Amino acid sequence: MLTAYDFANPKVPELDQIVPLPPAKLPKWDGTFQWLKEYQAKVAPEKPSDELIARLAKAKGLDPASGMPLAQLKKAEVAPATIAATTPDRVSLGTLCRTGQPCPEAGLWLGSFEGQQYSHLLSKGQPMPTISTSIPRSNRLAQWLKGPEKMELAMEWQLEKYTDA
């Protein structure tokens, strides 16, 4: 019985909690374990109602659909408008754009992460890239077996130089 449910972390109580100490008579056993009853009684919680989600999101200043802070959503909506309003032909040097957004201007874009500089030559409309990096694992055995952990970094890119077309 224990091997079939060992993933459920069965707990066996002290012996004197299961059976009385001698000379008392042994009670009748129904053939079940308390930890097994507790494990089988677990049920996933119900999904909260849309009204509750909306109320909690409003209290915390979050968008109910995405869970993002409303202040960040407003900044994201304002940023493309300011990029387009700078000049009719080209955006200004120093314009910032986040990973995943479409590139507003062809040119050399620079990004930095923990003091490391990255540069990409991008064309207009191309999505701003992520950077692949390797980070050593804290566990030496895992580092030896699997090598460093690969990560994709999202960052903010800055327009450094236009490409002459």
For 38-51, write each residue's pLDDT tens digit: 888 887 778 889 99
Number of helices and strands (H, E) in the chain? Answer: 5, 6
Question: Left (φ > 0), alpha (ψ -120 to 50) or beta: where does 114 sit?
Answer: left
Every domain of the chain and the residues it spans: 1-42, 72-165
Say how far apart CA 30 and CA 26 lie, in whole Å. Answer: 12
Closest CA to 99 of 74, 118, 78, 82: 118
pLDDT per position as a tens digit, 56-114: 988 988 888 878 888 765 655 555 545 444 445 788 888 899 888 898 989 999 988 87
Say how far apart CA 71 and CA 58 lie, in whole Å. Answer: 12
